[in-house]
Amino acid sequence: MDDTDRLLLRLLEENCHTPVQDLAVMAELDEQEVRERIRRLEETGVIRTYAAVVDWERAGDGNVAAVIELKVSPERDFGYDRIAERIARFRQVRSLRLMTGVYDLQLLVIGKNMHEIARFVAEQIAPMDRIRETATHIIMKSYKENGSMLAEREEVERLPYSF
């Protein structure tokens, strides 16, 4: 992988619908070379998928999102991998990361309401072997997702001030 591949990755991450001819101009390559590089990046798993950034609040979806932090006792010979694989299988889990700091794993979880998320944590996550502690943070509003701004600043009409 070279700097040109990294440039293409940044451009695709910003907008995966950018036409190949535009990518070729920006990367100073011919279109066929861009296609071949993208195909190679897809085949090697560097590009995992193409996705849309959706503002679910604006779309009218009533779902609630939460960040769940977990303290986990790592397994001998496997570390955090096997518990992470088990947790990743739940449909509610949108992302799962191993983190530094006080907590070991961080999950982004989606549910229909706060009660559903609380029930998921209490019934599915907390009882698992090796889970020592959980902390749940409900996401109240998202301002930016995957590099895309979601919240538009509302212009407030100011009234004239006089003495």
The reported pLDDT for the residue numbered 156 is 65
The order of strands in the sheet holding 105-111 is 93-98, 105-111, 64-72, 131-139
Spans of the chain, pLDDT less than 70: 153-159, 162-163
pLDDT tens track for 106-145: 999 999 999 999 999 999 999 999 999 999 999 998 888 8
Domains of the chain, residue spans: 3-43, 57-141
Report which of 135, 123, 128 is spatially closest to residue 75, judged by C-alpha positions: 128
The reported pLDDT for the residue numbered 63 is 87
Supply the CATH classification number for the domain 3-43: 1.10.10
- Taking the C-alpha atoms of residue 131 and residue 127, their distance in angstroms, rounded to an integer, is 7
Domain range 57-141, CATH class: alpha beta
